[in-house]
């Protein structure tokens, strides 16, 4: 098996130095010999990573994709770092063995900010992480005040402190945990209504923080949250711009896979951990994205 260990990348936090070894390999043409049906593996605790999938389809409409939702482990945001790291690294190792992907993307901020390094140690393929879009938010804000909503596990990570120190020095970054939004996004994709009180509570919690009146940019630091973009926009109003990392991640994946060939009818599969009943209600959301029925891992 082609070993790409250590030749990995993340999203916005990457430096050109980190990218270089992989880029050299790509330039050498070695990667073009991959099996054409080898998929891109997108991984999340649930359906949140479909926001990354949607962005990926804009840049790579035909690449084979296996989307894996760890519904048996959902939600990650209320778990400990040790639980998340062990679960994500173990599952991705087994999934990589079974599906032989050409690249894996952890389409989950919680898992990426905790376990990206560990997953890269386990996998022999490039691994793209999803980390809070603090860098682009810092470039966009005019008031210098940025709100960030994520899971409880994400907002306490040193990884996020480092992103703030590196890219948002001199700005004010106000973070809150909004675990209820994960559940609401899962329900919405299953056709259920979103409780307006829940969105109002998130808005109230963030805007109660000192300095929050100046927020003009809101980082959606959980891949589930763009599924609630309309509801959040209604609550925060037109003066607050939402930003997430999906498009940047999709572009990074496309860049890493540049020059590779894809089988015309490669797999496009939606896999879940735990009982298949966990995917009940997702049929329309999956069909509209070109997936067949959910399959068990
Ligand atoms: N979608 C995940 C993220 O981006 C988190 C959801 C969960 O709590 O499992 O953080």
Domains of the chain: 16-130+247-296 (3.40.50.1860), 134-244 (3.40.50.1860)
Residue 186: pLDDT band with limits 50, 70, 90: very high
Tokens of 33: 């010999």
The pLDDT score that the predictor gives to residue 182 is: 98
pLDDT band at 11 (very low <50, low <70, confident <90, very high): very low
Q: 108, 149, 150: which to mutate for ligand 1, most atoms within 8 A of CB?
A: 108
Residue nearest to atom 2 of ligand 1 (CA): 108
Tokens describing residue 266:
């490669």
pLDDT, average across residues 166-170: 97
Q: What is the pLDDT of residue 31?
A: 52
Active site residues: 108, 222
Asked if residue 19 has its Cβ within 6 Å of ligand 1, the reply is no
pLDDT range class, residue 33, cuts 50, 70, 90: low
Q: Is there an atom of ligand 1 within 6 Å of 77 CB?
A: yes
Q: Ligand 1: which of 111, 129, 148, 156 to mutate, most ligand atoms within 8 Å of CB?
A: 111
C-alpha 65: how far from chain center = 15
Residue 9 has pLDDT above 50, yes or no: no
Q: Is the CB of 220 under 6 A from ligand 1?
A: no
Q: What is the mean pLDDT of residues 224-247?
A: 98
Give the pLDDT band (50/70/90) at residue 265: confident
Distance of CA 209 from the midpoint of ligand 1 (Å): 23
Q: How many other CB atoms are there within 10 angstroms of residue 255's CB atom? A: 15
Q: What is the mean pLDDT of residues 43-63?
A: 97
Residue 248: the pLDDT is: 97
Cα(45) to centroid of ligand 1, in Å? Answer: 6
State residue 22's pLDDT score. Answer: 53
**Rounded Cα–Cα distance for residues 191 and 12 (Å):** 32
pLDDT exceeds 50 at position 165: yes
92 lines ligand 1 (CB under 6 A): no
Q: SS3 helix, strand, coil % of the chain, rounded to 5?
A: 45, 15, 40
74 lines ligand 1 (CB under 6 A): yes
User: 72 alpha carbon to ligand 1 midpoint, in Å?
Assistant: 13
Tell me the pLDDT tens digit for each residue of 141-161: 999 999 999 999 999 999 999
User: Which pLDDT belongs to residue 266?
Assistant: 77
Do residues 155 and 178 touch, judged by C-beta distance below 8 A? no
Residue 44 CA: nearest ligand 1 atom is 1
Q: Could you tell me if 160 and 231 are in contact, meaning their C-beta atoms sit under 8 angstroms apart? A: no
* Pocket flag, ligand 1, residue 268 (CB < 6 Å): no
Total residue length of the chain: 297
pLDDT cut 70: percent of the chain above it = 89
**How far is it, in rounded angstroms, from Cα 262 to Cα 267?**
10
User: What string of DSSP letters covers 198-251?
Assistant: HHHHHHHHHHTSTTGGG--EEEEESTTGGGGHHHHHHHH-TT-EEE-SHHHHHH
Q: How far is CA 215 from the centre of its chain?
A: 23
Could you give the angle at the alpha carbon of 144 between the alpha carbons of 196 and 151, nearest 5°? 40
Q: Are 11 and 130 in contact (CB under 8 A)?
A: yes
131 CB-near residues (< 8 Å, 6+ apart): 10, 11, 12, 13, 109, 112, 113, 116, 159, 160, 163, 245
Q: Confidence band (pLDDT; 50, 70, 90) for 264?
A: confident
pLDDT digits (tens, 9 = 90+) for 86-109: 999 999 999 999 999 999 999 999
Q: Is the pLDDT of residue 224 over 50?
A: yes
What's the mean per-residue pLDDT of the chain? 91
Residue 3: per-residue pLDDT: 34
């Amino acid at each position: 098996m082609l070993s790409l260990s250590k030749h990995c990348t993340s999203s916005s936090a990457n430096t050109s130095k980190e990218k270089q070894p992989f880029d050299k390999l790509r330039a050498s043409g070695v990667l073009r010999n991959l099996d054409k049906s080898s998929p891109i593996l997108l991984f999340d605790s649930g359906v949140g990573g479909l926001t990354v999938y949607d962005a990926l389809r804009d840049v790579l409409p035909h690449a084979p994709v296996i989307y894996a939702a760890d519904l048996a482990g959902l939600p990650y945001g209320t778990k400990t770092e040790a639980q998340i790291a062990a679960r994500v690294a173990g599952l991705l190792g087994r999934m990589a063995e079974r599906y032989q992907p050409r690249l894996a993307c952890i389409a989950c901020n919680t898992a990426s900010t905790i376990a990206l390094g560990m997953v890269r140690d386990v996998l022999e393929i490039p691994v793209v992480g999803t980390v809070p879009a603090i860098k682009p938010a810092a470039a966009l804000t005019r008031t210098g005040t940025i709100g960030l909503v994520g899971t409880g596990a994400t907002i306490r990570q040193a990884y996020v402190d480092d992103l703030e120190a590196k890219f948002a020095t001199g700005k004010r970054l106000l973070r809150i945990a909004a675990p209820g939004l994960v559940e609401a996004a899962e329900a919405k994709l299953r056709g259920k209504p979103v409780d307006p009180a829940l969105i109002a509570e998130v808005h109230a919690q963030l805007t109660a923080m000192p300095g929050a009146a100046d927020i003009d940019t809101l980082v959606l630091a959980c891949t589930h949250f763009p599924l609630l973009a309309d509801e959040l926009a209604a609550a925060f109003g037109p003066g607050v711009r939402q930003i997430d990392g999906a498009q940047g991640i999709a572009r990074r994946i496309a860049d890493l896979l540049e020059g590779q060939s894809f089988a015309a009818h490669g797999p496009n599969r939606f896999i879940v951990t735990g009982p298949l009943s966990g995917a009940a209600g997702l049929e329309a959301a999956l069909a509209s994205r070109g997936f067949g029925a959910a399959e068990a891992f």
